[in-house]
Amino acid sequence: MSKVLIYNTLTRQKEEITPSHPDGKIRMYECGMTPYSDPHIGHARTAITFDNLKRWLEFRGMPVIHVRNVTDIEDKIIKRANEQGIPCSDLVARFDAVRKDLFGKLNLIPPAFEPYATAVIPEIIAIVEKLLANGMAYVAEGDVYFRVRKFPGYGKLSRNAIEDLVSGSRVQACGLKEDQLDFDLWKAAKPGEPNWDSPWGKGRPGWHIECSAMSMKYLGETLDIHGGANDLIFPHHENETAQSEGATGKPFVRYWVHSGFVTMNQEKMSKSVGNVIGLREVVDRVPGPALRLLMGQTHYRAPLEYSEAQERMARETWETLKRMLELNPGNAVKWLTPLPDLDGLEKMAKENIASFDSFMDDDLSVPRALAEIFDLGREFHKFVIGNMQMDSSSISRLQEIRKSIVDRLAVVGIEMGGTEAGAPTEVLALVKAREEARKVKEWKKADDLRTAISALGWNIEDTPRGTVVRPN
């Protein structure tokens, strides 16, 4: 089993991922959406990051139990549903259906479990009862709060000191709290809000406790991997850690993984700023594989600058990649540089694929890994279209090289179609005849031959470097 390193937000260093359970499976929890509006490109980036991580771990021999939650009860949902005069469940169902459709177009592998917060109310209540029993929580007029100062490790994930938080703007004072740092575990029922029975009266769970309950229900009290976007580190993931470890007395997460922000004009994408790009409109313009290529040009932890120019480049890159990997000998192209020999191409393939694997092992460095694929793809393409005819043995060797490329692209969610077999002899003969007709300016004959080639399921393209043959 290869060594796969990931940057751990908790320790601020790269660490080798190893399974903690005897079955050898990695327990991974990804914070999902709160479906009160359409998903945006930032949601796509986080989901693609965890999809790539899951694919790569499994490729390296570590099966993953992947859980991605749906927060279906939360302040924003309640506010939006009340504004529209519909039940929260109807609002959630509408936008969650959109999210599932769009995620499917991004070729995201569905998680093993996708729990809804409202389905784990008993588990939430059980955790809160543990925290009350050990003095880490208290009831105030039907609300239940977590005592932050009772948890000695508070701030270890976000690197926030208690003293800084007291004066910080992100902590709001509340008359019912013993301390302004304390956060809610359970909210007493209010008019116009869904509610459930609890030992402290009717109410609903706080946001943070939902993820603790959902993750531990399916993955146990200690998770291997947990994360989401950077903006969840504080307070969400910090509070999750405190309440989970406060209830169980065990480490909650071994590796915290967080993806970087999406920016526009160097400014973080935010609904409050109004610079959010909806995922629905993006997938209408950019095919799923092209969007994954766009995301793959920037390391998952770095800010991703998004623009129309990036979209255009991604579409062009996707088309280039498809053409690179066509295996259609018989395209008589004169190259300005010497063609690689097949032995040399196989040697390059072995080296580049090994480099791809090494970069992916090193904190999921997709940009550097993809660069290896493109370098190899260019040489592959040069060899294929620079050789008029090849024997079956050469084609078989090329198919193996192509397969090694396609297999690696698949582990970053980019599924390749294209043609693996060469153009048949009949088509090659017609292509050659058309070239001869063009040389003597028999244009009518050349057009008729083009039509005949098309009828056989092949298309020809005249380029500055020669004629290229592709399947229709």
Structure confidence by residue, pLDDT tens digits, 405-429: 999 999 999 998 654 555 666 777 7
Task: Give the model confidence (pLDDT) of 30-83 as tens digits.
Answer: 999 999 999 999 999 999 999 999 999 999 999 999 999 999 999 999 999 999
Q: Which two tokens stand for residue 429?
A: 């003969």
Q: Are the CB atoms for 92 and 136 separated by under 8 Å?
A: no
Confidence at 371, pLDDT banded by 50, 70, 90: very high
Task: Give the model confidence (pLDDT) of 242-286 as tens digits.
Answer: 999 999 999 999 999 999 999 987 787 776 667 889 999 999 999
Across 179-193, average pLDDT: 95
Residues 6 or more apart whose CB falls under 8 angstroms from that of 44 comprise 102, 103, 106, 279, 282, 291, 295
Q: Are the CB atoms for 180 and 120 separated by under 8 Å?
A: no
Confidence at 119, pLDDT banded by 50, 70, 90: very high
CA 395 to chain centre: 34
| CA atoms of 331 and 439, how far apart (whole Å) | 16
| CA atoms of 35 and 70, how far apart (whole Å) | 8
Is residue 288 pLDDT above 90, yes or no?
Answer: yes
Is residue 332 pLDDT above 50, yes or no?
Answer: no
| CA atoms of 276 and 263, how far apart (whole Å) | 9
* pLDDT reported for residue 459: 79
Q: Which two tokens stand for residue 89?
A: 């469940």
Confidence at 25, pLDDT banded by 50, 70, 90: very high
* pLDDT reported for residue 99: 97
* pLDDT reported for residue 453: 86
Q: Are the CB atoms for 471 and 322 separated by under 8 Å?
A: no
How confident is the prediction for the chain on average, in pLDDT? 91
Across 322-327, average pLDDT: 87
Could you tell me the domains of the chain?
5-285 (3.40.50.620), 317-422 (no CATH)
What percentage of the chain reaches a pLDDT higher than 90?
74
* pLDDT reported for residue 457: 78
* pLDDT reported for residue 173: 54
* pLDDT reported for residue 326: 85
Q: Identify which of 257, 254, 264, 208 has the alpha carbon closest to the alpha carbon of residue 229.
A: 257
Is residue 170 pLDDT above 60, yes or no?
Answer: no
* pLDDT reported for residue 174: 61
Q: Which two tokens stand for residue 46?
A: 């986080």
Length of the chain measured in residues: 472
| Residue 228, CA distances (Å) to 51, 121, 292, 445 in order | 12, 23, 18, 61
Predicted structure pTM score: 0.88
| CA atoms of 468 and 333, how far apart (whole Å) | 8
Amino acid at 247: A
The better pLDDT of the pair 392, 39 is held by 39
| Residue 467, CA distances (Å) to 335, 387, 425, 438, 448 in order | 12, 12, 16, 11, 16
Across 304-332, average pLDDT: 86
Q: Are the CB atoms for 374 and 353 separated by under 8 Å?
A: no
> Which of 199-213, 332-346, 448-462 shows the lowest per-residue confidence on average (mean pLDDT)?
332-346
Across 155-178, average pLDDT: 77
Q: Identify which of 311, 287, 331 has the alpha carbon closest to the alpha carbon of residue 463.
A: 331
* pLDDT reported for residue 435: 80
Residues 6 or more apart whose CB falls under 8 angstroms from that of 101 comprise none
| CA atoms of 289 and 298, how far apart (whole Å) | 15
Across 449-464, average pLDDT: 80
* pLDDT reported for residue 464: 53
Across 106-118, average pLDDT: 98
| CA atoms of 240 and 183, how far apart (whole Å) | 11
* pLDDT reported for residue 359: 98
* pLDDT reported for residue 331: 45
Confidence at 335, pLDDT banded by 50, 70, 90: very low
| Residue 307, CA distances (Å) to 231, 294, 414 in order | 21, 10, 21
CA torsion angle 108 112 115 121 (round to 10): -160
